[in-house]
Amino acid sequence: MLRKLHGWPGLVAALLLLVLATTGVILSVVPAIERAGATIPATGQISVADLAERVVAHYPGTEQIERSLSGEVVVYYSRDRQPGADLVNPLTGEGIAPYQPSAFLRWVKNLHRSFLLDDAGRMLAGGLAVMMLLLCLSGMFLLARRMGGWKAILKPIAGSGSSRIHAELARFAVIGLLLSALTGSYMSAVRFGLLPEAAAAEPSFPAEVSGGTPAPVSSLLALKNVDANELRELVFPYPNDPSDVYSLSTTQGSGFVDQATGELLQYQPRSTGNQFQHWMIRLHTGEGLWWLGLILGMAALTVPALSFTGIQVWWQRRSTSVRLGEGASIEVADVVILVGSEGNTTWGFARDLQNKLNQAGKKVHCAPMNDLAKRYPQASVLFVLTSTYGDGDAPSSASQFMTRLEHFQANDGLEFVVLGFGDQQFPKFCQYALDVDAALSSKGLQQVNLVTRIDRGSAIQFREWGEAIGEHMGISLALTHNPAPAATAEFELVERVDYGVAVNAPTSILRFRPVQDRRNLWQVLSFRSRSNLPSFEAGDLFGVAPPGDNTARLYSLASSASDGQLEICVRKQTNGLCSGYLHSLEPGDRISGFIQQNPGFRPAGGATPIILIGAGAGIGPLAGFIRKNTDRNPMYLYWGGRNPQSDFLYQPELGCYLDDHRLTGLNTAFSRSAEKAYVQDAIIADESALRQLIEKGAQVLVCGGRDMASGVSQVFDSILKPLHMDVDELRAEGRYLEDVY
Amino acid sequence: MKKILFALGLAAVMAVPAYAQAREVTFSTQLSNYGGDGAYLALYLTDADGQYQETLWISGEKSKYYKHLRDWARGSGLNQAEYDGLTGASVSSGRTLNVTLELDDALIDSGYQVRVDTAVEDMRDNRSDVVAPLTTEGSGKSVAGRGYVQSFVYNLK
């Protein structure tokens, strides 16, 4: 609901808001420009009487003196029966330039407040202001939900692409936009009588004046008592009309001044309501508040970008919302897929799963989680594919799921599998999937396997999950869905260093150079530049798809953008399609690939000791971290290979790093040498030193195969036991990171 | 050019019920291209000394801006009763306002003057932009304004 409230008005209003925002930006600098050009006397320096005297000395036919809130003073006068208007210096009364309000700014102002359409346009502009108010408020609530509460609203925003840019910009601009929208709505409501207009306390013209001989304006007491900076307007009496008076209007109130006695007549202070209204207008226009004007202008400047990214997010959401039919009915389905999705990406995965299950002869029913039925009479497996919204909340198509689950009756032996989709950068990665998993378990359903969590729509993780599930169900389940094939760029192999051929583990360090190509305008506009050739750090991922295959494999990068090349370390797998392809490359060959950020696998900064653990090709990003450790923070590497003579990857480099103290300690283990040791053994051998490091707050980063990683985490659990800690605890603190394949 | 024609005989007769003989008068006020937003105008009668007598017509819908029609505002005291039923839309730059009213014969050739005050947002206010004696002789003779009014003419029927 909140999302709809934010989306539809936003879309409709985007174009018109662009006009309001652009004109608003132009108008916002006016107070600052006026202020810069104005001479402002010190408070108490000159009175209105002094000012009037000096102006009249230069303009004998003065009819009216006006001071804008920015400090500009304008005199309206008659000379030889010809009217004129000049900007004057308030200190001397001398003319500066003819006063000619800019026709362009007048046009911009009218475009801003009425789209050049008078009252109808004003109504539209007012409606847009209200809509902007709604957008700001609903957007703030959406952001708070995304961030996991109002307290977290200023924390760094996770995620990527348009939606992140939208959130970052909006967070920066929302206060300014809210103020503009609120004051604009107010002004419009007053204009159209929806809110009461504060009675402008107009003093009535004095019934009697002294009628004496006019005194020089400099001698009039009522004008002497007002500081020139408080003046708004002074209208002179008609020459030769003793019954006429001066009309005086100041920031405080207005009244009349007897031209003979200098007495203040019929003075009316501004009412509170009038002052409020006046301030609302100033807060909208920045009149006399040039700094506020600039702030509001900067906020308005984000509107085009917000509109653009907002429409992009909306479009992405919409274009991925194509759903397959539900398939088999609830009564006959033997497999049920329930989908929890916020941005609709999860539906793509569900559709693939549904297709492949259909191909395997299953009768599949597919529905949003909110459509959970009371019973699925024929079902034997229930799949739940769900993302997580914000801080562990249900995505929109699952908002009612937990409530409906209370009334759910499971068949005997109904199995379930939960697949979570999320982003490791979020603190509660796939939390909702975990909650659903627990809830289904407690309903008595049979859990097939633990929740699998797919990080940022990884096609590989999805495929692997499919293989495992297919095996369990006794069918072949070749899942191929790839949510967003990233924009690729071309890279040329410049160098390869080969290791491990002798021990049957051919592993190569491959170095690529980006082939510069020009980004087209659409890529620039749609922030595609990121995936085309973004900046990257060691530990980020390089995606490559082998020829004839759409599924990209991700390799951890061992270099940073500042190295000017992409370095990956690849072990050639038996029958490996992609690793075989990469190993077949010769210097000069070109491949296409993309970079995917992986901020969840980076060493903590500062003096925190870092323990790097890897085996085989997993050394790649770890070597990259060490190379970047020019601050010489304590870094320890534990690495396992096969044979020191054959596959000791990065051996020369690691020697250099030890010499220049980028690497503090190196422990290796070789399984096909005399010692016959694995990296776990090297860790156990160094147990007490590692425990001390952990006590000092050290962070552990593990990179390598899955089996090695689980072996290492077991070893660490035993090392941590005396400290009454375990790996999960470290993980929760962000001190135990894994990059596992 | 769009001409606006107002026939407000009844209102005028109600305003001056004591007079027997009424005469139709058309006032044409052509504005110059002053290059601003729509102008507010006040057409009113004064005596030979410039003392306010009665309102003929007010152009401009927002009464909160009427105070900028300064002489008229002073004379009429901004009393709504003075201009009730005698108002219309503001007049754009370069356009002409035509107003036809029934005036009592006694007002003509009796030393009365027609005056026009003008005001435009963010621009100067013009007191007595036009001053024209209301005489049989003056009928059909164009008078130049000194503010936003290019020319002013009235025609007695």
Residues ≥6 apart with Cβ < 8 Å to A172: A299, A302
Closest CA to A394 of A405, A410, A382, A409: A405
CB of A5 closer than 8 Å to CB of A134: yes
The packing angle between helices A103-114 and A2-28, to 10°, is 170
Q: What is the pLDDT of residue A150?
A: 82
Q: How confident is the model at residue A568 (pLDDT cuts 50, 70, 90)?
A: very high
Q: Provide the shortest C-alpha distance from residue A102 to chain B (in Å).
A: 10
Q: What is the pLDDT of residues A412-452, one digit of tens each?
A: 889 999 999 987 766 678 999 999 999 999 988 888 888 89
For chain A, the average pLDDT equals 86
Q: Give residue A425's pLDDT.
A: 62
Of A82, A110, A202, the CB nearest to B67: A202
CA dist., res. A462 & res. A735, Å (int): 27
pLDDT at position B12 is: 40
- Give, in degrees to the nearest 5, the angle at Cα B40 between B37 and B46: 155
Residue A570 has pLDDT above 90, yes or no: yes
The backbone torsions φ and ψ at residue B104, rounded to the nearest 5 degrees and listed phi first, read -70, 140
Mutate to test the interface with B, among A87, A238, A256 (most CBs of B within 10 A): A238
**Of A207, A31, A122, residue with least CA distance to B62:** A122
CA atoms of A77 and A96, how far apart (whole Å): 14
Please indicate whether, in this complex, the C-beta atoms of A63 and B67 are within 8 angstroms of each other: no
Q: Looking at the predicted structure, is the pLDDT value of residue B82 above 80?
A: yes
Bridge partners, residue B46, by sequence? B52, B113
Kindly report, residue by residue over A705-725, the tens digit of the pLDDT.
Answer: 878 888 998 999 999 998 888
Q: What mean pLDDT comes out for the span B39-57? A: 93
Comparing A363-372, A544-553, B68-77, the range with the smallest average pLDDT is: A544-553
pLDDT of B5 reads 40
Min Cα separation A73/chain B (Å): 13
Q: Give the 3-state secondary structure of A410-479.
A: CCCCCEEEEEEEECCCCCCCCHHHHHHHHHHHHCCCEECCCCEEEECCCHHHHHHHHHHHHHHHCCCCCC
Tell me if chain B has a CB within 8 Å of the CB of A240.
no
Question: With contact defined as beta carbons under 8 Å apart, do A422 and A430 qualify?
Answer: yes
pLDDT tens string A468-486 = 999 888 888 888 887 655 6
- Compute CA B60 distance to the chain's CA centroid, rounded to the nearest angstrom: 12
Instruction: Compare all CA atoms of chain B with the CA of A82 and give the residue at the minimum distance.
Output: B146
The H or E element spanning position A248 is strand A245-250
Cα-Cα-Cα-Cα torsion A311, A314, A315, A321, nearest 10 degrees, comes to -170
What tokens does A417 get? 């599998």
d(CA A719, CA A223): 87
Q: How far is A188 from chain B (nearest CA, A)?
A: 14
Q: What is the mean pLDDT of residues A178-187?
A: 95
pLDDT digits (tens, 9 = 90+) for A69-81: 889 999 999 888 7
Least CA distance to A109: which residue of chain B?
Answer: B37
Asked if the Cβ–Cβ distance from A83 to B124 is below 8 Å, we say yes
* Both tokens assigned to B45: 């009668």
Alpha-helix runs per DSSP H in A148-239: 161-191, 221-224
Pick the range with the lowest mean pLDDT from A22-26, A353-357, A467-471, A597-601. Answer: A597-601
Confidence (pLDDT) at B89: 92
Distance CA(A632)–CA(A228), nearest Å, equals: 65
Cα–Cα dist A502/A497, whole Å = 14
Q: Return the SS3 of A667.
A: strand
- Site from A106, A197, A234 to mutate, B interface, most B CB atoms within 10 angstroms: A106
CA pair distance A567, A513, nearest whole angstrom = 9
Give the CATH class of A324-473: alpha beta
Candidates B37, B74, B122; nearest CB to A205: B74
Percent with pLDDT over 70 in chain A: 92
Contacts of A573-577 spanning 24+ positions with Cβ under 8 A: A577/A546, A577/A549
Residue A387 has phi, psi (to 5 degrees) of -95, 180
Q: Between chains, do B127 and A238 touch, taking CB under 8 Å as contact?
A: yes
**Residue A42 DSSP SS3:** coil
Q: What is the mean pLDDT of residues A489-512?
A: 89
Whether residue A202 has pLDDT greater than 90:
no
Q: How far is B148 from chain A (nearest CA, A)?
A: 10
Task: Give the pLDDT score at A411.
Answer: 85
Helix (H, G, I), strand (E, B) or coil at A618: helix
Distance linking the first and last C-alpha atoms of chain B: 23
Question: Which residues from A are below 8 Å from B74, CB to CB?
Answer: 205
- Dihedral of CA atoms A430, A433, A439, A442 in degrees, nearest 10, equals -90
More confident residue, A601 or B45: B45
Structure tokens given for A227: 């500081």
Whether the CB of A207 is below 8 Å from some CB of chain B: the reply is no
- The predicted pLDDT at position A458 comes to 83
pLDDT at residue B16, as a whole number = 46
A243 touches chain B (CB under 8 A): no
Taking one residue from A and the other from B, the number of pairs with CB-CB distance under 8 angstroms is 35
With a cut of 60, say whether residue A324 has pLDDT above it: no
Q: Which residues of A touch B126 (CB under 8 A)?
A: 83
Q: Give the C-alpha separation, A485 to A543, whole Å.
A: 10
State how far residue B47 is from chain A, nearest Cα, in angstroms: 15
Closest CA to A662 of A634, A693, A697: A634
The label of the residue with tokens 């696998």 reads A601
The percent of residues in chain B predicted with pLDDT above 90, rounded, is 55
| A76: nearest CB among B36, B67, B124 | B124
Cross-chain CB nearest to A83 (options B35, B67, B146): B146
Q: What is the band of A521 on the pLDDT scale with cuts at 50, 70, 90?
A: low
- How far apart (Å, rounded) are the C-alpha atoms in residues A187 and A197? 10
- What is the CA A79 to chain-centroid distance, rounded? 60
**Which of A232-246, A311-325, A565-579, B141-155 is modeled with the greatest confidence?**
B141-155
Collect all residues of chain B within an 8 Å Cβ-Cβ radius of residue A83.
Answer: 124, 126, 146-147
Q: Rounded to 5 degrees, what angle do the CA atoms B13, B14, B16 make?
A: 65
pLDDT of A80 reads: 82
Determine, for residues B126 and A83 on separate chains, whether the beta-carbon distance falls below 8 Å.
yes
Task: Read off the pLDDT of each residue in B89-108 and give the average, rounded to a whole number.
Answer: 91
Helix or strand holding residue A350 (H, E): helix A345-359
Torsion over CA: A280, A283, A289, A293 (sign): negative
**In B, which residues are within 8 Å of A78 by CB distance?**
146
**Residue A149 falls in which region: left (phi positive, over 0), alpha (psi -120 to 50) or beta:** left
Give me the residue from B70, B78, B147 closest to A83, CB to CB: B147
Nearest C-alpha neighbor of A311 from the set A711, A560, A99, A17: A17
What span, in angstroms and rounded, lies between the C-alpha atoms of A191 and A350?
A: 53
The mean pLDDT of A177-203, rounded to a whole number, is 86
Q: What is the pLDDT of residues A607-621, one digit of tens each?
A: 889 999 999 999 999
Identify all chain B residues contacting A235, using CB atoms and an 8 Å cutoff. Answer: 70, 125
Residue tagged 């000017």 (tokens) = A564
CA distance A165 to A308: 10
Q: Is A238 on the interface with B (CB under 8 A)?
A: yes
**Which residue of chain A comes nearest to B65, CA vs CA?**
A200
Residues 49-88 (A) with a CB less than 8 A from some CB of B: 63-64, 76, 78, 81-83, 85
Indicate the pLDDT class of residue A145, thresholds 50, 70 and 90: confident
Q: What is the pLDDT of residues A154-175, one digit of tens each?
A: 877 766 677 788 888 998 899 9
CB-based contact, A110 to chain B, within 8 Å = yes
A338 or A243, greater pLDDT: A338
Kindly state the average pLDDT of the residues B35-51.
91
- What is the C-alpha to C-alpha distance for residues A695 and A399, in angstroms, rounded to an integer? 42
Contact A106 B127 (CB under 8 A): no
What top-level class would CATH report for the domain B21-156? mainly beta
β-bridge partners, A74? A66, A87
Beta strands A446-447; A415-422: pairing state: parallel
**Residue from A114, A117, A205 whose CB has the most chain B CBs within 10 Å, to mutate:** A205
A301, A304, A309, A313: CA torsion to nearest 10: 130
Go through chain A and tell me how many residues it has. 741
The pLDDT value recorded for residue A420 is 94
- Under DSSP, is residue A27 helix (H, G, I), strand (E, B) or coil? helix
What is the C-alpha separation between A298 and A21, in angstroms, rounded?
Answer: 10
Å between B57 CA and nearest CA of chain A: 21
Q: Which residues pair with B131 in a beta bridge?
A: B115
pLDDT value, residue A279: 93
For every residue of A482-495, DSSP letters joined together read -S-PPPPEEEEEEE
User: Structure pTM?
Assistant: 0.59
What's the mean pLDDT in A235-247? 86
A496/A412 Cα distance (integer angstroms): 57
pLDDT bin (cut points 50, 70, 90) of residue A1 is low
What mean pLDDT do residues A668-681 have?
A: 89
- Give me A698's structure tokens: 């050290």
3-state secondary structure of A542: strand
pLDDT of residue A232: 93
| Residue A654 neighbours by CB under 8 Å, 6+ apart | A623, A626, A637, A663, A666
Q: Which residue of A has its CA nearest to B70?
A: A235
Contacts of A449 (CB under 8 A, 6+ apart): A417, A468, A469, A472
Mean pLDDT of B7-29: 61
- Band (B114; pLDDT cuts 50, 70, 90): very high
Q: Which whole number is the average pLDDT over A83-112?
A: 91
Instruction: Pick the most confident of A289-303, A516-530, A589-603.
Output: A289-303
d(CA A268, CA A613): 81
Q: Name the residue among B35, B50, B70 with its Cβ closest to that of A235.
A: B70
Helix %, strand %, coil % of chain B (to 5):
15, 40, 40
Contact A101 B122 (CB under 8 A): yes
Say yes or no: A197 contacts chain B, CB-CB below 8 A: yes
For chain A, domain boundaries: 2-31+106-198+288-315, 55-90+210-270, 324-473, 489-596, 610-740
Residue A737 φ/ψ, nearest 5 degrees: -110, 145
Q: State the smallest CA–CA distance between residue A244 and chain B in angstroms.
A: 10
pLDDT score at B3: 37
Mean pLDDT, to the nearest integer, of A380-397?
A: 86
Rg (CA), chain B: 14
**β-strand partners of A256:** A247, A265
Candidate from A83, A103, A202 with C-beta closest to B78: A202
- Fold classified for A489-596: Elongation Factor Tu (Ef-tu); domain 3 (2.40.30)
Identify which has the larger pLDDT, A409 or A204.
A409
Q: A361: helix, coil or strand?
A: coil
ipTM attached to this prediction:
0.77
Q: What is the pLDDT of residue A731?
A: 77
> Furthest-apart CA pair in chain B: how many Å?
44
- State which residue of chain A sits closest to B72, comparing Cα positions: A205
3-class SS of residue A497: strand
Among B47, B70, B115, B124, most A C-beta atoms within 10 A, so best to mutate, is B124
Chain B residues touching A81 at Cβ < 8 A:
146
Per-residue model confidence as pLDDT tens digits over A250-289:
998 999 999 999 999 989 898 888 889 999 999 999 988 9
Architecture per CATH, domain A610-740, reads as 3-Layer(aba) Sandwich (3.40)
Provide, as residue numbers in chain A, all residues whose Cβ is less than 8 Å from the Cβ of B124.
63-64, 76, 83, 85
CB contacts of A202 in chain B (<8 Å) are 67, 78
The shortest CB-CB distance from A85 to any of B77, B124, B146 is to B124
Domain ranges of chain B: 21-156
Cross-chain CB nearest to B35 (options A63, A103, A200): A103
Residues in A closer than 8 angstroms to B48, CB to CB, are none
When pLDDT is averaged across residues A294-301 and rounded to a whole number, the result is: 94
Q: Three-state DSSP class for A301? A: helix
The per-residue pLDDT for A57 is 95
Say which range, A25-29, A335-339, B12-16, has the weakest mean pLDDT.
B12-16
A53 C-beta neighbours (distance < 10 Å), count: 18
One-letter amino acid at A558 equals: A
Q: Which two tokens stand for residue B29?
A: 């006020």
Q: Is A117 on the interface with B (CB under 8 A)?
A: no
Answer yes or no: are the C-beta atoms of A101 and B123 closer than 8 Å. Answer: yes
CB pair distance less than 8 Å for B122 and A106: yes
A489-596 has the same fold as A324-473: no
- Minimal CA separation from A349 to chain B, in Å: 60
